[in-house]
Amino acid sequence: MKSAVIVFPGSNREGDVLRALKSAGSQAEKVWHAETELPQGTDLVVLPGGFSYGDYLRCGAIAGRATIMDAVRAHAARGGLVLGICNGFQILCESGLLPGILMRNANLKFICHRQFLRVERNDTAFTKAYAKHQAIDVCVAHGEGNYTADEETLKRLEGEGLVAFRYADAQGHITQDANRNGSMNSIAGIYSTKLNVLGMMPHPENLIEDLVGGTDGRGLFESLVSSFPRAA
Amino acid sequence: MKARVTVTLKNGVLDPQGKAIEGALKSLGVEGIDGVRQGKVFDIELGTADKAQAEAQLKAACEKLLANTVIENYRVEIA
């Protein structure tokens, strides 16, 4: 499996996500945002976290219109996998690959803490290594993670099962307290209609080693790698 | 030609920044404020002298980048 991690000016989590991908068994390389094409044979595109363009205008707004994004849109349209984490999720929303927008956290604070998520479905390329409704322990670090969409979009996301993760407590219960950024329906991550694009605010790539406190994030990368036959 | 683009949040979209500013004004003792909504202003220089062309260019700028029409409205004024 071959992954391309897009680097924008101000991205800062590309190293961690490269490490997570490689340790799960993927080939992975960085791709600069001004490129016009993805490397030949790219299976997965990752938009990493960070502060692309210093969050100028709106988070992800300028990166969402970068040259490489035309290639990413074409990749997604062909059914190729795309994962956006944190700022990457914001970029996916701004680029039109996912609906809605990430607004300023309801409490106006940058939040940075460990966070349980409930895995809403485990039949996608991103989550097959988890159990349905498993509570996974990852972390969040963002100031604009308050998922907002119009009523119709929200209804469609819920109706078509496109919510990937929700903020939950350690038992997997969806509670008001667990939803610290104020996201509608406690949404922490969503899929595109064809389930090949995933945007999520939390950072699974932070929790891939016992040394740093947990390994619940590994399942996401292992799911992705297991979706592709191993190269001989 | 000069233009001003104003981007504001749509009605009903929660504006925590506006709320915080409203709270700060109250705490400063500024009276009579019933609500604050925060927006953005862009002062733009255009090369053209043709008003219709300027309008089309500004509309493209707003739709493509300056406003996220999921949550924002925009208004264009040409000087």
pLDDT in tens, chain A (232 residues): 999 999 999 999 999 999 999 999 999 999 999 999 999 999 999 999 999 999 999 999 999 999 999 999 999 999 999 999 999 999 999 999 999 999 999 988 999 999 999 999 999 999 999 999 999 999 999 999 999 999 999 999 999 999 999 999 999 999 999 999 999 999 999 999 999 999 999 999 999 999 999 999 999 999 999 998 765 4
- Please state which architecture CATH assigns to domain A2-226: 3-Layer(aba) Sandwich (3.40)
**Count of domains for chain B:** 1
Which amino acid makes up residue A77?
A
Report yes or no: A108 at the B interface, CB cutoff 8 Å.
Answer: yes
Instruction: Report ipTM for this prediction.
Output: 0.83
| Packing angle of the helix pair A14-24, A218-226 (nearest 10 deg) | 60
Helix (H) or strand (E) holding A139: strand A135-142
Mutation site for B-interface testing, chosen from A92, A101, A111 by largest number of B Cβ within 10 Å:
A101
In this structure, are residues A186 and A1 in contact, taking their beta carbons and an 8 Å threshold?
A: no
* Residue whose pair of structure tokens reads 């909504």 in the numeric block: B37
Which amino acid makes up residue A133?
H
Q: Which residues of A touch B68 (CB under 8 A)?
A: 58, 61, 94, 101
Mutation site for A-interface testing, chosen from B7, B68, B73 by largest number of A Cβ within 10 Å:
B68
User: In which domain, by residue range, is B33 found?
Assistant: 2-78
Which amino acid makes up residue A64?
G
Quick one: pLDDT band at residue B14, thresholds 50, 70, 90? confident
In DSSP terms, A111 is beta-bridged to A142
C-alpha triplet A38, A39, A40: angle, nearest 5°? 115
Domain harbouring B24, CATH code: 3.30.1280.10
CA distances from A55 to A50, A97, B8, B41 (A): 9, 19, 18, 17
Distance in angstroms (rounded) separating the CA atoms of residues A219 and A124: 12
Distance in angstroms (rounded) separating the CA atoms of residues A201 and A146: 9
Spans of all domains in chain A: 2-226
Distance in angstroms (rounded) separating the CA atoms of residues B2 and B44: 6
For chains A and B, CB pairs below 8 A equal 34
List the structure tokens of A5: 């991690």
Nearest-Cα distance to chain B for A183, in Å, is 11
List the structure tokens of A206: 């932070």
CB–CB contact B70 A150 (8 Å): yes
